[in-house]
Every structure is written in structure tokens, then in C-alpha cells.
Amino acid sequence: MSLASKTLPVLHPIKSLPPGFKVNGNLTRDLMESQGDAKLRSSGLVGSSSPENDALIGDVSEESQDRAGGTSLFNEDLAYSGKAVLFEDRASIGDENLESVPLPFQTISVSSRESRNFSLESVISLPDGKVLKVKQDSLVSANPDILDGVDDLMQLSYLNEPSILYDLQYRYNQNMIYTKVGPVLVAINPFKKVPLYGNNYIEAYKRKATESPHVYAITDRVIREQDEVNQSIIISGESGAGKTVTAKIAMQYLAALGGGSGIEYEILKTNPILEAFGNAKTLRNDNSSRFGKLIEINFSETGKISGANIQTFLLEKSRAVQCNEGERTYHIFYQLCGGAPPSLRGTKDRMSCTMGVLSFTRF
Ligand SMILES: Nc1ncnc2c1ncn2[C@@H]1O[C@H](COP(=O)(O)OP(=O)(O)OP(=O)(O)O)[C@@H](O)[C@H]1O
């Protein structure tokens, strides 16, 4: 039977789920991958599965249907209607090819039905016109359009994995690689030059002319609050996430604000030396730090940098003598060989061993 031949009932948007509604469980990644991946993800309509949810979602559907009689309840806020999640119970529509079925609405919408094995299914119409059929217990709430690209994820009405990914991607597409989650800063590695750094930006954050999330903003707060108590910035992430670059950006801001004594340049100049002995090319990162680093920067009472202490630990020592296919040992070995006169290059093996011992004693 063709769905097009049916008269679809009017669908009413709801701007939030009934009070007391909870979504438990984890994102069903499989579902996203199998059901139109990015498009479904970008709709924010992907989610969790649990027996409780089955019951709860059943309740939602019924309650939504009850509410559908009173449309004024749902039309009160236009801002929420652009990307509304619609629930509607209707008769079975069989296994027809839903991809080709035109539906009479533009927004993301959901209709549900009970299949033979009693698990609820939903039909979702994406903004680009695609129609998908998914298990209803795999859906979570989408946020309204006005929350697209918020700079603090805490502002989202529905904080779930698809909503977070959608917001981060939305911002990333506009070169906004930084997003706040309360006091935490999330950075997406752009792997390209983004116009977010340099003196103009440093000045803007110094004068508080902008409040966009940024490493500069975090560092600025650290400088201002260190009068009261010592401050720390912890940078974490997987290999290649951008920790080293982020630390350098923070240090540049510290140098720009707390500079004057000249020590700031000495601190910045330690980076190439440490990286020569402790960084190497890996399959994930051409300049991977193979050691941990704790940098302490001291400020005088006048707010100027007065000294620094850099501790390194957990160097991956085995890399000095062996590494995986496609990876390299520490940069220093190649730099020394590259700069050595031809007469010395013939003794490369001996030089590598010597430098290996040197790097062990340094760390
Ligand atoms: N803010 C950024 N802008 C542009 N490119 C960046 C930025 N952050 C990181 N990158 C790119 O990503 C690469 C990897 O970053 P980085 O070395 O800082 O990662 P990491 O987290 O320190 O990795 P590892 O743990 O392996 O040392 C950099 O060499 C650079 O090309």
C-alpha cells in the first residue's frame, strides 16, 4: 500500500516532552550509521534504548495525542516550531519504501506505530525531505532552532550526545572551534589555519571586548584570579587532539599580558628544545609529544612573569631505539643527522646511540 494514497492527519508540534519524562541509556551509534548517519545526527533525533523508555515513550505518544486537541498549547512559542518533534499515533503503514514518500510538512516530524512484535517505530521526516523509519526508543529530544550554535552547551534544553555533536559541528562549520561547557572549554582541532589568534584577538580578550569561548578567555581568567589563589589549566585529549598547540596558545597570551621582564620569551623558547628531544612522528600526529609536561609560571605582585619551572615526566624511552612501522624516533636524531657534515653522517648509528643516552638523562 502506498503511503501517498493515505490522508495524513494534521501533526501538532510540541516544544518539550511531558513533565517527568526521562531518557536513559546510551546513544545508538549503530542506528546513526545505518539510518542516514550525518543527517539523522544533525536532526538531533537519535538516542537511547531501555525497557523503561519503551513505556515512557508510549506515554509520550499518548499524551501528545491527547494534547493535540489543544493546539494553542503548542503554538505559543514560534521559535520552537522550526525543528519540532511531532508525535502521532496512526494505523500501520506496512513496509512500503518510505524514502520515496512525500510528507506534507517541512519540519522534522515523528509518527509512531506499534509493529507486530509490539516495539514502537517512528517515521521521521528530515528537513532535506528524507524520510526514515526508526525504533522509537532510539529517539531523544532535539533542541529548538534558536539554540543552534550556542557558545555554552549548558544552555541547551536537551543535553544529549547528538545535541552536543550537532552544536559542536554547527560552530565548527563557522570556524568557531571553541565551545564552553560551563567552566570547561572544548576545542575541536581544525587541522588548518583559523583566523582566531594574534595581537588583535589578544587585545580584544584583554579589553573584554569579546566573550566568545577561547583559550585566551580561559587564560585571561586565570591571570585575573591568580591574585586570590594559585590557578591551573589542565589540557587533556587524545593524541593529535591539539593539547600542545593549545598550551602554546595559552602561553602566548600569558606572555602578552604578563610579559615585560623578558622571561616570557625564554619560556616560549623552551618549546622547540623540549619538542626536539621528546616529540616524534607517530601515525596519528607528525609532532606527537611522547612525554608529560607540567609548566609552572610564577607572577610577581605587579602581575609580571617572574619565573617558570618546567617538569617533564613519563618519556616514552623505548622510542629512542625502536618504533612502529610508519613512525619515527625523536626529532633530535634526524635534526642532528640533517645538520651533520657528510663525514659524520656515516657514523649515524653511533650518534643515535649517544643521543639516546643524552635524552634519557635530560628527562
Ligand atoms: N588550534 C589549532 N589550529 C590549527 N591547527 C591545530 C590546532 N591545534 C592543533 N592543530 C594541528 O593538530 C596537530 C596536532 O596537535 P598537537 O600536537 O597539539 O596534538 P596533541 O594533542 O599535543 O597530540 P599528542 O598527544 O600526540 O602530543 C598540530 O600539529 C596542528 O597541525
Q: How far, in Å, from the CA of 29 to the mean position of ligand 1?
A: 27
Q: How far, in Å, from the CA of 258 to the mean position of ligand 1?
A: 25
Q: Comparing 15-29, 107-121, 283-297, which segment has the lowest mean pLDDT? A: 15-29
pLDDT tens sequence across 316-343:
999 999 999 999 999 999 999 888 888 8
- Residue 216: pLDDT band (50, 70, 90) is very high
ipTM for this model: 0.99
Beta-carbon neighbour count of residue 195 at 10 Å?
A: 8
Pairing of strands 120-125, 131-135: antiparallel
Q: Is the pLDDT of residue 4 over 60?
A: no
Hey, which residues does 338 pair with through a beta bridge?
Answer: none
Residue range 288-316: average pLDDT? Answer: 92
DSSP 201-263: HHHHHHTT------HHHHHHHHHHHTTTS--------STTSSHHHHHHHHHHHHHHHH-SSSH
Phi then psi dihedrals of residue 70, to 5 deg = -100, 80
Looking up cell 583559550 gives 215
Where exactly are the structural domains of the chain? 3-145, 177-362
Q: How far, in Å, from the CA of 240 to the mean position of ligand 1?
A: 5
- Residue 217: pLDDT band (50, 70, 90) is very high
Looking at ligand 1, which residue's alpha carbon is closest to its atom 16? Answer: 242
CA–CA gap between residue 100 and residue 116 (Å, rounded):
23
Task: Yes or no: say if 276 and 331 are a contact pair by the CB < 8 Å rule.
Answer: yes
pTM of this prediction exceeds 0.80 = no
Looking at ligand 1, which residue's alpha carbon is closest to its atom 25? Answer: 239
Q: How far, in Å, from the CA of 273 to the mean position of ligand 1?
A: 17
Task: Yes or no: say if 126 and 132 are a contact pair by the CB < 8 Å rule.
Answer: yes
245, 246, 252: which to mutate for ligand 1, most atoms within 8 A of CB?
Answer: 245
Identify the CA nearest to 310 among candidates 262, 251, 257: 251
Q: How far, in Å, from the CA of 302 to the mean position of ligand 1?
A: 33
188, 244, 288, 289: which to mutate for ligand 1, most atoms within 8 A of CB?
Answer: 244
Superfamily classification of domain 177-362 = Kinesin motor domain (3.40.850.10)
Phi then psi dihedrals of residue 73, to 5 deg = -60, -30
